[in-house]
Amino acid sequence: MSTEYLLSNHDILTVENISKNADKISFLNKAHIFCYDTVDSTNEQGKRLAQKGAVHGTLITAEEQTGGKGRLGRSWHVQKSAGLLFSLILRPQITLQEASRYSLIAAIAVCEGIADAVDLQPMIKWPNDVLLNGKKICGILAEMIPQTDGIDFLVIGIGVNVHQKKEDFSPEMQTKAASLTMFTTKPLQRAVILQAILSKMDVYLQQYQQEGFAPIKEKWLSHCAALGENVSVLSKNTVLQQGKFIGIDDEGALLLESKNGAVTRFVSGEVSLRRPSEQYF
Ligand code: BTN
């Protein structure tokens, strides 16, 4: 049985609520914010709008998705209004190899935005899940249409679990996922959390433009869980390799050092990471 989330007016994702006092966010423009009640997927809608010429910084939000998409071909289902579901269209002039860096920037922004808005300290699980107490509270799905000389646009889709109660997750998911409300007694307003995340996106997009990837990588590593630990790399629940998680390279690929010192790189679209003893992490 699904829970009805009765919202205060402040919690509803409207253009007004999102753009209120958000002048500091350089890419955000009221005219380019699209708030849907129901949509198939904010990423799909983002791609449709981008193909029709939507500008850099276009924001798409939804109270509910009928075909929400996760990484590795999974679905992403959230009860209506329980999650913060949004996609941001970016049009950077970059190569295909550089595109993964934008997911890393998004993960940093989610961690720091949540810390600012809610006073909780999430961590990143490679490649870009965001966790609290070892449970996933946010997923990020970046999509793009490759061109011969780079990309036309990027759609960064972010789903933060905000209001879900434990019983809103299936028994299997309860061991792996949680929502912000499970970790705080403060009232949560999704538009406020969204603004905080977008502010941080703005900071790190500008830093990347001005200073390159090195400081972004450092920042990402500072929020990263399990760095320096022994981990397993899995493909479809099968362990491919175990070793020490020593960092990421300039394309965001995971670097795993085996006992003999050899380093293998794993690309995020193909595999996931586990601590050997844990179910999700
Ligand atoms: C993951 O598998 O961890 C990524 C989940 C990404 C979910 C978000 S919700 C908003 C946006 N629209 C989608 O269809 N997916 C992303």
pLDDT in tens, 183-216: 999 999 999 999 999 999 999 999 999 999 999 9
Are residues 140 and 181 located together in one domain of the fold? yes
Q: Is 159 domain-assigned?
A: yes
279, part of any domain: no
CATH of the domain at 256: 2.30.30.100
Same-domain pairing of 246 and 163: no
Do 54 and 6 share a domain, yes or no? yes
Q: Are residues 32 and 112 in the same domain?
A: yes
End-to-end CA distance of the chain: 28
- Residue 281 is assigned to a structural domain of this protein: no
Lining ligand 1 with CB less than 6 A are 41-43, 65, 68-71, 74, 76, 85-87, 129, 139-141, 157-159
The set of residues, in sequence order, having a beta carbon less than 8 Å from that of 47 and lying 6+ positions away, is 143, 145, 155
Q: Which amino acid appears at position 88 of this protein?
A: L
Q: Is the pLDDT of residue 3 over 60?
A: no
Whether 100 and 237 map to the same domain: the answer is no
CATH number at residue 218: 3.30.930.10
Say yes or no: 240 and 101 in one domain. Answer: no
SS3 for 48? helix
pTM (predicted TM-score): 0.94
- Based on the fold, state whether residues 159 and 209 are members of the same structural domain: yes
Residues 187, 81, single domain; the answer is yes
Contact status, residue 91 vs residue 65, Cβ threshold 8 Å: no
On whether both 170 and 124 belong to a single domain, the answer is: yes
Q: Which ligand 1 atom is nearest residue 128's CA?
A: 3
Residue 280 lies in a domain: no
Pair 247, 201 in one domain: no
The answer to whether residue 187 is domain-embedded is: yes
Say what the pLDDT of residue 1 is. Answer: 40
Rounded to whole angstroms, the Cα distance separating 56 from 70 reads 23
Mutate to test the pocket of ligand 1, among 69, 88, 125 (most ligand atoms within 8 A of CB): 69
Q: How many domains does the chain have?
A: 2
Q: What pLDDT shows up at residue 72?
A: 83
Ligand 1 center from residue 187 Cα (angstroms): 24
Say which range, 37-41, 84-88, 267-271, has the weakest mean pLDDT.
267-271
Atom of ligand 1 nearest to the CA of 67: 14
Indicate whether 246 belongs to any domain.
yes
Tell whether 101 and 165 lie within a shared domain.
yes
**Containing structural domain, residue 44:** 2-222
Same domain, 98 and 237: no
Cβ atoms 155, 137 nearer than 8 A: no
Name the residue with the closest Cα to ligand 1, atom 16.
Answer: 157
Write down the H helix ranges in the chain: 15-19, 42-51, 100-118, 171-174, 190-211, 214-222
Query: Which atom belonging to ligand 1 lies closest to the Cα atom of 69?
Result: 14
Residue 77 Cα to ligand 1 middle (Å): 9
Ligand 1 centre distance from Cα of residue 75 (Å): 8
Strand order through the sheet with 263-266: 263-266, 254-257, 238-248, 230-235, 272-274
